[in-house]
Amino acid sequence: MSARALSRGTAIVALLVLGLAGSARAQIDYRNLDDDRPVVTEDAYPVERHAFELLAPYRFEAEAGGGQLHTAVPEAAYGIARNTQVGLKVPFVGVDDGTSTDWGLAGLRLFGLYNFNTETRWLPALALRGDVSFPVGSLAGDGSRVALKAIATRSWGRTRVHLNVGRGFGSEDALSVAEALNRWSASLALDRTFFRSSILLIGEVAVSEAVQDAPTAVNASLGGRWQWTPTLVLDAGVTRRLRSGIGPDIALTIGLSHAFAIRGLMPTGPR
């Protein structure tokens, strides 16, 4: 796959996201932290029941070893039931080692998230997420993997704190070059909402271990989400490694998401 083909595919996804606005229902979505959008931490709340969310992100990484990584990850999520969402990710990747660039599909991932409760005075919102990745594509690794992630969100007015803790299972022989399900991961994030400007700012520290006995990556990230229109959200973020030799020297992400509902798929009550 060429760089032009990757760019064309990303553009098509973005156009599809925009083109569906005609059948969309307005939804304020900028406070909904998605996985990797723009930091790895997500909040404990799924998309609304019967709502769709389409995401078209791009990420650039300059690695500590000198290589570069270009990743576009089209994603679709659906509120299949109350407090429950399911979704699909399809990462397209370009790996630049300084002499040549390999382009290809880096797997196929299915996921689901269930929210157990809304926040109370004493209890944060809690959710459980499950992911399954399949080795589809030339850059997808050698085996399937499964991961579970516990998520907690706690609010104090316009400020929220999120804690994510994940554990991966399956073959560790050769992981996908992007969007891999790590052996374990944990992240802590704080966000602040600015209601008048419809902006959310986020800061995060994340740690992870790709496979058993691998060095532990520690990264810090800053990002923001802006409600561009009632159904479109723009996000952007920057990441920097905190340990020598592992993690990105710099990583930049930018993306567009569109939350909507299709009237024909909505339940109808008795007339």
Per residue in 168-190, pLDDT tens? 999 998 899 999 999 999 999 99
Q: What is the largest CA-CA distance in the chain?
A: 66
pLDDT band at 49 (very low <50, low <70, confident <90, very high): very high
pLDDT (0 to 100) of residue 13:
44
As a whole number of angstroms, the distance between CA 126 and CA 60 comes to 31
Does the pLDDT at position 20 exceed 70? no
Q: Read off the pLDDT of residues 220-253 as tens digits, 9 standing for 90 and up.
A: 999 999 999 999 999 999 999 999 989 999 999 9
What's 179's DSSP letter?
Answer: S
pLDDT for the residue 14: 47
pLDDT at 4: 55
| 123 contacts 144 by C-beta, under 8 angstroms | no
Planar angle of CA 29, 78, 152, nearest 5 degrees: 60
- Position of tokens 């973005």? 14
Q: Which residue has the higher pLDDT, 51 or 263?
A: 51
Alpha carbons 257 and 51: distance in angstroms, whole number: 13
Quote the percentage of the chain above a pLDDT of 90. Answer: 77
Q: Are 155 and 119 in contact (CB under 8 A)?
A: yes
Q: Evaluate if residue 30 carries a pLDDT over 70.
A: yes
The pLDDT value given to residue 263: 84
15 pLDDT tier (thresholds 50, 70, 90)? very low
Q: How far is CA 204 from CA 26, 42, 225, in A?
A: 29, 11, 14
Position 8 scores a pLDDT of 52
CA 244 to chain centre: 25
Can you read off the two tokens belonging to residue 63?
């690695």
CB distance 109 to 179 below 8 Å? yes
Residue ranges of E strands in the chain: 52-63, 68-72, 75-81, 84-89, 92-96, 101-105, 108-117, 125-134, 145-156, 159-170, 184-194, 199-209, 217-227, 232-241, 248-260
Give the pLDDT confidence score for residue 66 in this predicted structure: 81
Give bridge partners of residue 108 from the DSSP assignment. Answer: 134
The domains of the chain, with CATH numbers, are: 3-263 (2.40.160.40)
Calculate the CA dihedral of residues 191, 194, 197, 198 and round it to 10 degrees: 50
Q: How far apart are the C-alpha atoms of 31 and 235, rounded to whole Å?
A: 11
